[in-house]
Amino acid sequence: MPKFNVAYDSNNSGGSWWLKDKDWKDLEEAGWHVHWAKDRSSDTIFYREIKKTGRWLGALATSACTDIDAKDSNEAKRIAQIKWEGVTGKNGDEEGCSCCGQPHNFYAHEGSCYLNKLGDKNVC
């Protein structure tokens, strides 16, 4: 069975983050690789805020990933979302607001590495 890396990406939908600090810590404890804001590269636009507070636009993190064995990427995303929901107690299919889009997104890539959306580096 192939291995997929499933990335969870949080969107500040409706003007606030849908995951709280505890959710990110719980995900890490459950084995997810959390992409902490404090670990972002220095070329991001909010680097001074990150360096000072350890947060990006107020969030400790905005994405995480985990490896899943599955027959295809759709199954991997479903499995990861179920695990994510079990840890956070949130609904991964929330719609969010009409202008900002979904607050939760899951992406699957074959292999065990995910290039984060800012292009910083391979983080898993």
Mean pLDDT by 10 residues, the chain (124 residues): 91 86 97 89 71 86 94 96 98 88 90 54 49
In this prediction, residue 42 carries a pLDDT of 65
Going by C-beta distance under 8 Å and a sequence separation of 6 or more, which residues neighbour residue 90? 18, 19, 23, 84, 104
For 56, the token pair is 């990006």
Structural domain includes residue 13 = yes
pTM: 0.84
CA dihedral 31, 75, 61, 35 (to 10 degrees): 60
- The boundaries of the domain holding residue 59 are 3-110
In this prediction, residue 120 carries a pLDDT of 46
In this prediction, residue 20 carries a pLDDT of 95
- The residue among 84, 59, 57, 79 whose CA lies nearest residue 68 is 79
Structural domain includes residue 91 = yes
Structural domain includes residue 115 = no
Structural domain includes residue 119 = no
Structural domain includes residue 16 = yes
What total number of domains does the chain contain? Answer: 1
Q: Helical H runs in 4-121?
A: 21-29, 47-53, 73-88
Diameter of the chain measured on Cα atoms: 44
Structural domain includes residue 116 = no
